[in-house]
Structure 1
Amino acid sequence: MAVGTLLVGCSASVDVGTSTPKMSLDKLATTLSEKLAATTGQPKPDINCPEDLAGKVGTTTRCTLTADDGSPLGVTVKVTSVDGDQINFDIQADGTASPAPN
């Protein structure tokens, strides 16, 4: 699956007691899957993210997309702007997948 850079905007809820909005790792994975499927015209890929995404410009996280053949592909998410509880970010998938596990 070849994927270029995408600009995606998503809403996130603000944690109680903090002014920094966060998007849960589950919401982030679901959003990435939906956006990549819409962009490529392929079924939604299986994506796992290791942590919540903090709504602070410049914050990055690495998620993993698992292709149909089981090979993993890294996906970098970088926050580009935050407007209230709206977190906007770029998605950059690695150019090549790692070999599928045996």
Structure 2
Amino acid sequence: MAATRLSAATLILSSVAVGVLLVGCSASVSVGSTPKMSSEKLATTLAEKLAATTGQPEPDITCPEDLAGKVGTTTRCKLTAGDGSTLGVSVKVTSVDGDQINFDFEADGTASPAPN
């Protein structure tokens, strides 16, 4: 039974990795002269985009830091499946237009198993 759950989680994470290799999106925020997107807003935006792209429920995503609105800025977020296995998601700012931060994100090709 545990193998079935692991296989299902791995299948879902693999679908995310294969289905969302590189996706562009944007969000609008405004803080001072350099726009920033909070880590919470970034995680929410990624979860919404992944769910829309894969047809799956919104995954649990956490991002460790705010995303600065400067072209080339990168960060790594983490998608966690229900069984505890994880998949990394790389985010890179592609352009900034006023307070609009445009970025691409790419899911890792392989999930990390849940800790035992």
Q: Same fold (TM over 0.5)?
A: yes
Tell me, yes or no, if structure 1 residue 37 matches structure 2 residue 51.
yes
Aligned with 1:4 (options 21, 24, 48): 21
Q: 3-state DSSP class of the match of 1:4?
A: coil
Q: In the alignment, what sits opposite 2:89?
A: 75
| Aligned 1:51-90 pairs, distance under 5 A | 51-90=65-104
Task: State the alpha-carbon separation in 2 of the partners of residues 36 and 68 from structure 1.
Answer: 16
Q: CA RMSD in A?
A: 0.9
**TM-score w.r.t. structure 2 length?**
0.82
Distance of 1:42 and 1:76 partners within structure 2 = 20
Q: Following the alignment from structure 1 to structure 2, what is the Cα–Cα distance between the partners of residues 101 and 38? A: 28
| Structure whose CA Rg is larger | 2
4+ aligned runs moved over 4 Å, structure 1: none
Partner Cα distance (1:13, 1:46) in 2 = 25
Secondary structure of the residue that 2:45 maps to in structure 1?
Answer: helix
Q: Map 1:21-36 to 2 at 5 A.
A: 21-36=35-50
TM-score (norm 1): 0.93
The alpha carbon displacement at 1:9 in A equals: 1.2
Structure with the higher fraction of residues in helix conformation = 2
Shift of 1:69: 2.0
Distance 2:57 2:28 in 1: 23
Q: Which has the higher strand share?
A: 1
Q: CA deviation at 1:68?
A: 2.4
Corresponding letter in the other structure for 1:83: D
Question: Percent of aligned pairs with the same residue?
Answer: 78
The amino acid across from 2:103 in the alignment is F
Paired residues, what number? Answer: 99
Letter in 2 for 1:30: T
Structure 2 unaligned spans of 5+ = 1-12
